[in-house]
Amino acid sequence: MHVTVLLQEAVAALVVKPGGIYVDGTFGRGGHSRLILSRLNEAGRLIAFDKDPDAISAGEAIKDPRFCIKHGSFLQMPSMLRAMAVSRIDGVLLDLGVSSPQLEEASRGFSFRFTGPLDMRMDTSQGLTAAEWLASVTETDLARVIRDYGEERFARQIARKIVEERMRQPIVTTSALAEIVASVVRSREHQRENKQHPATRTFQAIRVHLNRELEELSLTLPQCPDLLNLGGRLVAISFHSLEDRMVKRFMRTAADADVLPRGLPLREKEVRRLSRQKLKLIGRAVRPEKQEIIINARARSAVMRVAERISTGED
């Protein structure tokens, strides 16, 4: 069963206007979308996106004229909105990472907790599986991916071991990969430091790389402010430090006005007009309450950040 993380907090942060137009950039199993719909009136509209065909099937079960779901990445949001004759929206929600159904279904290959085929694709209709990628990637590139996307300090040793083992037999299951990584990262010191399975970081790194998660996020974030009406909100929920760092830096940069000469007799609205400031930060980073983490352990790493579209010289 999928439990939506920061459900009430995220929808409250959007400040849903009954007649507004909103985007759920990562539908998942629709927890956020259903709550947003409950706050819209007949004039309101919600457009959802997801790369996962299973999520699309779940979304198509929602029979509501105010709602539609599109198969694709949130990176395609501007072009898809234009095709729907939507020029501006009142809020966009990005709930990043993998969903519980993806992790819990062995056939998807996202988790080392279950033995299954090494797939890891969010969109199972296209792209290389993890097994196919591991069969051909160079040791250097593999080490780079594990280091950069998994922040794994044993990246070189893990990559070397994977390349050695694939020469003996193809690595095609989650348990096979997990055992290979564990044979390298087995020191008591490492497990005591991290309190997690030795393969956690490697699985994350391969998944992030195969699905272009950070690349798509880095290209999507700069497009969001220009899609928002004044007062519209961007809400992003991250589940690991690389995502959160990217969201945090983007929001801070978009909220920083160009430095103007000191002492100028300007009102606040004039300062904004002369700067390129597009967003203002709303509150501090929000993390799940203890009770939510008890109910849903996956929530423990979640971080939500919120920014609001403000006037600029272009508006």
Asked, for residue 116, whether it belongs to a domain, the answer is: no
Asked, for residue 107, whether it belongs to a domain, the answer is: no
The secondary structure of residue 154, as a DSSP letter, is T
Domain closes at, from 140, 175, 210? 210
Between β-strands 303-309 and 279-281, what pairing exists: parallel, antiparallel or unpaired?
Answer: antiparallel
112 appears as a binding residue in the annotation: no
d(CA 291, CA 6): 11
Instruction: Tell me: do 230 and 175 sit in the same domain.
Output: no
pLDDT top residue among 314 and 302 = 302
The secondary structure of residue 259, as a DSSP letter, is P
Asked, for residue 109, whether it belongs to a domain, the answer is: no
Instruction: Tell me: do 197 and 218 sit in the same domain.
Output: no
d(CA 30, CA 213): 20
Structure tokens that stand for 190 in this block: 């490492």
Residue 271 confidence (pLDDT): 52
User: Is the Cβ–Cβ distance between 132 and 118 less than 8 Å?
Assistant: no
Domain closes at, from 210, 227, 251? 210
pTM of the predicted model as reported, rounded to 2 decimal places: 0.89
pLDDT, tens digit, for every residue of 114-152? 999 999 999 999 999 999 999 999 999 999 999 999 999
Domain with 259, as residue range(s), is 7-100+214-309
Q: Judging by beta carbons within 10 Å of its beta carbon (0-12, 13-18, 19+), is residue 156 exposed, middle or buried?
A: middle
CATH number reported for the structural domain that contains residue 139 in this entry: 1.10.150.170
Residue 100 confidence (pLDDT): 81
Residue 103 confidence (pLDDT): 85
Question: Which pLDDT band, with edges at 50, 70 and 90, does 311 fall under?
Answer: confident
Q: Is pLDDT above 60 for 224?
A: yes
Structure tokens that stand for 107 in this block: 């056939």
Instruction: Tell me: do 197 and 229 sit in the same domain.
Output: no
d(CA 79, CA 87): 10
Asked, for residue 166, whether it belongs to a domain, the answer is: yes
State the average pLDDT over residues 267-274: 53
Give every strand in the sheet of 67-71, ordered side by side: 67-71, 45-50, 21-24, 89-95, 228-238, 303-309, 279-281
The secondary structure of residue 16, as a DSSP letter, is -
The candidate with the shortest Cα–Cα distance to 134, out of 153, 114, 147, 118, is 118
CATH number reported for the structural domain that contains residue 53 in this entry: 3.40.50.150
Q: Is pLDDT above 80 for 189?
A: no
32 appears as a binding residue in the annotation: yes
Largest CA distance in the chain: 74
Sign of the CA dihedral 297, 217, 314, 255?
Answer: positive
pLDDT, tens digit, for every residue of 14-45? 999 999 999 999 999 999 999 999 999 999 99
Q: Judging by beta carbons within 10 Å of its beta carbon (0-12, 13-18, 19+), is residue 107 exposed, middle or buried?
A: exposed
Instruction: Tell me: do 12 and 92 sit in the same domain.
Output: yes
Amino acid at 294: I
Instruction: Tell me: do 151 and 79 sit in the same domain.
Output: no
Domain closes at, from 210, 238, 268? 210
Instruction: Tell me: do 58 and 195 sit in the same domain.
Output: no
Asked, for residue 115, whether it belongs to a domain, the answer is: no
97 appears as a binding residue in the annotation: no
Instruction: Tell me: do 96 and 221 sit in the same domain.
Output: yes
In the chain, the number of structural domains is: 2
